Amino acid sequence: MLKLNNVVKQYDKFRLECTMEVPVGQVTGLIGRNGAGKSTAFKSILGLIRTDGGTIEVFGKNVNDLTTKDKEQIGVVLADSGFSGYLTIKDLMPMLNAMYADFSKEKFVKDCERMELPLNKKIKDFSTGMKRKLQILAALSHNAKLLVLDEPTAGLDVIARDELLNLLREYVEDGERSVIISSHISSDLEGLCDDVYMIENGKIILHEETDVLLSEYGLIKATNEQFDKMDQSYILKIKKEKFGVSCLTNQKQFYQDNYPELVIERGSIDEVITMMISSAS
């Protein structure tokens, strides 16, 4: 569905080097800190910025060769952009209807009402959360095969977030649609994504299936003495702590079986991010 092959984008003080793939029917998460390169990657995928190397394929075509018909199959949420604030939702509907062959006005209106979005209010007077909801609903309104969602849950309260994540889960249920999503809220991704890519300083530093990450990754808390004695073959990262060291492993079971005295915490996306980007190998 989507392939980035050695994509390079060079700015003055930042370089993106990214290879990743989103297969059909899969939800893929892109995680990383602010400024790590998530939005740059998304903008490359959408052809909003010119890349300096590599290739991007969407639906098996080079991104620069996508027709408007192809673009109808992509639903987008951008972190820092949206519909013109001087329009109302009522103004948007005929526009979306003209642009998307599969736009469902009835469903869109129903969803907007369910999310308590006013149809006659100018979008610039919406709260951040309302703007986000509107963008997500618009992305879901035209039967897109690929959703490109940059921080879609930013600014949403817990209830709205859950509601929208449920909408997304329903949307990909048929196994024909794919999603690439970034979020700062790792629980969003844990419950939704089939796999995650972690990006730091413009580079992909980890790619793992979410199930594997949650079941096989773990955080070992060891004293210096314990650390020296243990087998370090499956340690990905270490971080010095007051009590000794914290170690990230992708073989939690191995350490649980062989070193029952060690404290081993369950891996979570948050833990893995923290360890991967804040410690030395």
Tell whether the torsion through CA atoms of 264, 269, 272 and 273 is positive or negative. negative
Rounded to 5 degrees, what angle do the CA atoms 179, 215, 27 make?
5
Confirm or reject binding of residue 13 to other proteins (CB under 8 A).
no
Percent helix, strand, coil in the chain (nearest 5)?
A: 35, 30, 35
Q: How far is the CB of 45 from other proteins (least distance, A)?
A: 10
Of the candidates 196, 202, 163, 172, the one whose C-alpha atom is nearest the C-alpha of residue 75 is 172
| Integer CA distances (angstroms), 64 to 45, 49, 78, 90, 137, in order | 10, 11, 19, 32, 26
* d(C-alpha 217, C-alpha 223), whole Å: 19
* d(C-alpha 189, C-alpha 266), whole Å: 16
Q: How far is the CB of 91 from other proteins (least distance, A)?
A: 4
Q: How far is the CB of 125 from other proteins (least distance, A)?
A: 12
Tokens 């991007």 sit on residue: 56
* d(C-alpha 92, C-alpha 80), whole Å: 19
144-173 residues in contact with other proteins (CB under 8 A) are 148
Confirm or reject binding of residue 136 to other proteins (CB under 8 A).
no
Confirm or reject binding of residue 48 to other proteins (CB under 8 A).
yes
- Residues binding other proteins: what is the number (CB under 8 A)? 34
Binding letters toward other proteins, positions 27-46, x by CB under 8 A: ----------------x--x
Q: How far is the CB of 67 from other proteins (least distance, A)?
A: 8
Q: Closer CB to other proteins, residue 129 or residue 244?
A: 129
Binding letters toward other proteins, positions 82-121, x by CB under 8 A: xxxxxx---xx-xxx-xxxx--------------------
Interacting span for other proteins (CB under 8 A) from 81-89, 167-175, 195-203, 216-224: 81-89
What residues line the site for other proteins (CB under 8 A)?
Answer: 43, 46-50, 68-69, 71-72, 74, 76, 78, 80-87, 91-92, 94-96, 98-101, 122, 124, 135, 148
